[in-house]
């Protein structure tokens, strides 16, 4: 009963979130676009003033002021992009559907997600280094799923794993520590199990109970919206009728276990 009430609350929150996000998106686009444009205009202003003879102290003041203006606009652009990222995540979190559901090779989805997450992390931080391990059961086979949505969940879990191992390495200086993220699959008859494990920082008990709540995050400002695990829970449990659980030991490891039914009981216009 409690889970049902919570599900209804999340559904209402999803509708509210979508409405707010759409309302915010248009003015936010104006802020971002005009901040970028204004930054370019300060460059044009400097170019226009360059050939004009000005007293040295006046030239210094102009350069200082246009420099400050450009720095301020860069901050507006930076935080505008951050806000845009949050809005996009809110819309992803609340939206219905996610492409077509079809019979999909689960091992192939896991492999694709590992590669995408790894290359994405390397593009963001070229020095990022991790050992990827695959324990894919050849008998895992296929399941009727929304492949885009399952990929989104896997990308989120793998990226969280990357974040955890990078943080453990940075926090400890970690001589001899080898960051490892493992993705595994297992045939469970009518169901398929997917596990994503990292040997990173682990999750404290006080965080574990809240981690699937919308907007809850332990990451520093600018690094997490707190929507990833909540969205993952919705996709696996509400949309696919599966389960998602976590086992963890602070300072040692975290392992997410997803169990998906091979046959999805999808309604035509519903997430579950």
CA distance linking residue 221 with residue 218, whole number of Å: 9
Is the pLDDT score of 90 beyond 70? no
Q: Pick the residue with more confidence: 118 or 13?
A: 118
CA distance linking residue 118 with residue 55, whole number of Å: 55
CA distance linking residue 272 with residue 235, whole number of Å: 8
| pLDDT one-digit tens code per residue, 106-165 | 999 999 889 888 888 887 788 888 999 999 999 999 999 988 889 889 998 999 999 999
> Do residues 17 and 90 make contact, with C-beta atoms less than 8 angstroms apart?
yes
| pLDDT one-digit tens code per residue, 164-213 | 999 898 877 657 889 999 999 999 999 999 999 999 988 888 777 767 66
> Do residues 147 and 99 make contact, with C-beta atoms less than 8 angstroms apart?
yes
In the chain, pLDDT over 70 holds for what percent of residues? 77
Assess if CATH 3.30.565.10 describes domain 102-261: yes
| pTM to 2 decimal places | 0.61
CA distance linking residue 153 with residue 235, whole number of Å: 8
| Average pLDDT of the chain to the nearest whole number | 82
The pLDDT of residue 271: 42
The mean pLDDT of 258-271, rounded to a whole number, is: 72
Q: Pick the residue with more confidence: 95 or 32?
A: 32
Backbone φ, ψ for residue 64 (5° rounding):
-65, -45
Is the pLDDT score of 272 beyond 50? no
Is the pLDDT score of 32 beyond 50? yes
């Amino acid at each position: 009963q409690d889970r049902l009430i919570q599900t209804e609350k999340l559904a209402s929150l999803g509708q509210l979130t979508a409405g707010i996000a759409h309302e915010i998106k248009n003015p936010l686009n104006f802020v971002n676009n005009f901040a970028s444009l204004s930054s370019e205009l300060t460059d044009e202003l400097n170019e226009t003033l360059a050939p004009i003879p000005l007293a040295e102290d006046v030239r210094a003041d102009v350069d200082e002021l246009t420099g400050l203006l450009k720095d301020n606009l860069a901050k507006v652009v930076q935080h505008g992009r951050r806000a845009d990222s949050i809005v996009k995540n809110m819309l992803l979190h609340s939206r219905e559907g996610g492409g077509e559901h079809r019979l999909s090779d689960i091992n192939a989805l896991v492999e694709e997600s590992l590669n995408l997450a790894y290359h994405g992390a390397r593009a963001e931080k070229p020095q990022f280094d991790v050992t990827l391990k695959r324990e894919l059961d050849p008998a895992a086979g296929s399941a009727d799923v929304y492949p885009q949505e399952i990929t989104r969940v896997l990308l989120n879990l793998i990226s969280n794993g990357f974040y955890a191992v990078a943080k453990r390495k940075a926090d400890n200086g970690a001589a001899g520590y080898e960051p490892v993220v493992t993705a595994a699959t297992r045939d469970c008859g009518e169901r398929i199990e997917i596990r994503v494990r990292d040997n990173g920082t682990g999750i404290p008990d006080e965080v574990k109970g809240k981690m699937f709540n919308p907007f809850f995050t332990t990451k520093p400002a600018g690094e997490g919206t707190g929507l990833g695990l909540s969205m993952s829970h919705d996709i696996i449990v509400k949309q696919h009728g599966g389960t998602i659980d976590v086992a963890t030991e602070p300072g040692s490891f975290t392992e997410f276990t997803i169990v998906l039914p091979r046959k999805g009981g999808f309604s035509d216009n519903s997430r579950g």
